[in-house]
Amino acid sequence: MNAKEYLYHHNKHFKLESGSALPGFQLKYTTAGKLNAEQSNVVWVCHALTGNSSFNDWWGDLFVVDGPFDPQEYFIVCANVLGGCYGSTGPLSINPDTSASYFHDFPIITNHDIVRAFDFLRVHLGLEHIHTLIGASLGGQQVLTWAIHQPKVFEHIIPIACNAKHSPWGIAINEAQRMAITVDPTWNSKKSNAGLNGLKAARAMSMPTFRSFKAFENQSDEENQKLIGFNAASYQQYQGEKLASRFNAFSYWTLTEVMDSHNVGRGFSNINEALNRIRAKALVIGIDSDLLFPITEQEFIFKNIRNAQFEIIRSKYGHDAFLIEINKLKSIIQLFIKSKFVYNE
């Protein structure tokens, strides 16, 4: 599949939900496939917390010949989020008002701000309608937010392993990670690698919430005489190093706060009213072993969207099953796209 990368520049004042503003922004986005004459074949992908616009790198099996979204049939778009570090405007970007990087002064942003930026890109691309909007975790939160605020744009939505309002449990986990970043003595410096050791610790803290008890059994030690040097400990070190090699503490801080502030009911009388605004047919997917976004949260979403189907992926891998159990995900999505489900109309 010939995926191509582009930059979209928005050169106008961009007011944020917090009341502050960006003097402008850019989004890096990736496309694959071709737009048909009717413009009826658009699939928009929203990535997870530390993802990027290169959807082939992390969800490639969904976008192959004979997959749910065959690039010979669909035009696929994915944009790196505002606040990220893969080409879109984020904390390491240059603030044109100061000619220096934002660093700690990057403004508070929300999922509403992120999807408004996406919507400017959508209009720029001339896309009046989107066949399917799909995303998981933080990306799933954005799917719901966008479908609520632009209900006429989307024909189908697929929010996976996400929620309508972030839970106190999730907020507590994210705050603990940010606390780990703050105790890194380099965090207060204005350098791109500030807080990097804190980021490693933060990632290690998050891994047990991304996986499950059973998933960590893979790290079991056969040597019964060990006192230190356990496989599970080495795995945590590895995951911290792996993220630090490709991400930065500033974007991690920003995007965990985006997740914390997620509440689709903000600006409406309640969450139920907000979800009821969605007009797209929805496939809501949960994971039975997900500790971070338990399936009760997806059940709530399902019950409050007019035309929705709820499916559960049964897996030992926890929240990360949306990246690991690709064959199960493909099968569920293919049935949905072929309209084999009965909705709760």
**Catalytic center residues:** 137, 290, 319
Encode 145-159: b = buried (16+ Cβ within 10 Å), e = exposed: bbbbbbeebbebbbb
Pick from 137, 139, 123, 106: nearest CA to 25: 106
- The residue with tokens 């493909």 is 330
Strands of the chain (E only): list them.
4-10, 14-15, 21-22, 25-32, 42-46, 75-79, 94-95, 100-101, 130-136, 154-160, 281-287, 308-313
Q: Give dist(CA 185, CA 61) in Å, integer.
A: 41
95-134 exposure pattern, b = at least 16 Cβ within 10 A, e = fewer: beeeeebbbeebbebbbbbbbbbbebbbeebebeebbbbb
